Structure 1
Amino acid sequence: MNPITTREQLAEAYQRIFAVVPPSLATKESTYDAQGMGDAIDALEFTRMAVLEAGPMTPREVQLVQFGMCAATCYDPGAALHASAALAHGATEADLLQVAQIASVVSGALGFNTAFGGLKSATK
């Protein structure tokens, strides 16, 4: 995999990994750019995508892990985003429900509710 060096390449990487470019990316970029810190957000995002694309996991597996992490930390927007991305990469509703159950072991009912809400949002 070639290193990501432009925001256009970053958007393409998001599309490959997440099946969507999250609206929050443009918000982060414009916020950092306005403070003269565009290079900082670029470095963070380029590295983040390189890590996600370099490993042995499939995009489906990466999204299931990220969905579980968002559920365990009760991050609703992330759970919905990663549930949708996991489905786009071939995960099933049963896969997402199993991850929701695993997340509930770590974070209890709140984690399960976050995961379940993300799943339902993704399967509307």
Structure 2
Amino acid sequence: MQPILLALTTLLPFTTAQFQFFEQMFQGGHQHPHQQQQQAQNVASDSEWYQQTYESAHCTNYLCPSTLACVHFPHHCPCAFPAVEDKIELGEGSAVCVSKGGYRTGEAARKVELARKGVL
């Protein structure tokens, strides 16, 4: 009986290592995306990350504060979320991004213009 017991205790570390190898191989050595999301940390609640990113950005013209895009003029800055925002130029070289309004094209621009006239 001792030779069988000796053989089992000798082979046990190899079988454990083998199962660990296959576990890593089938997981691709990586965590599943769901597991990665759980381990991700929230962005800091202060503005330090933004300030560092802004200060380290290289731009020879104008650096847009909301998107960090480098453009020739401030009113050329793109909207941060163009799928849900319309960019409206106000004149005097300025522009704003506003939530798209309604179902018709240009609805947001029409509302901004009415607000500028004091009608809305």
More strand by share: 2
More helix by share: 1
- Per the TM superposition, whether the score is higher than 0.5 is no
TM-score, normalising length: structure 1: 0.25
Structure with higher Rg: it is 2
TM-score, normalising length: structure 2: 0.26
Q: Which has the higher contact order (CA 8 A, sep 6+)?
A: 1
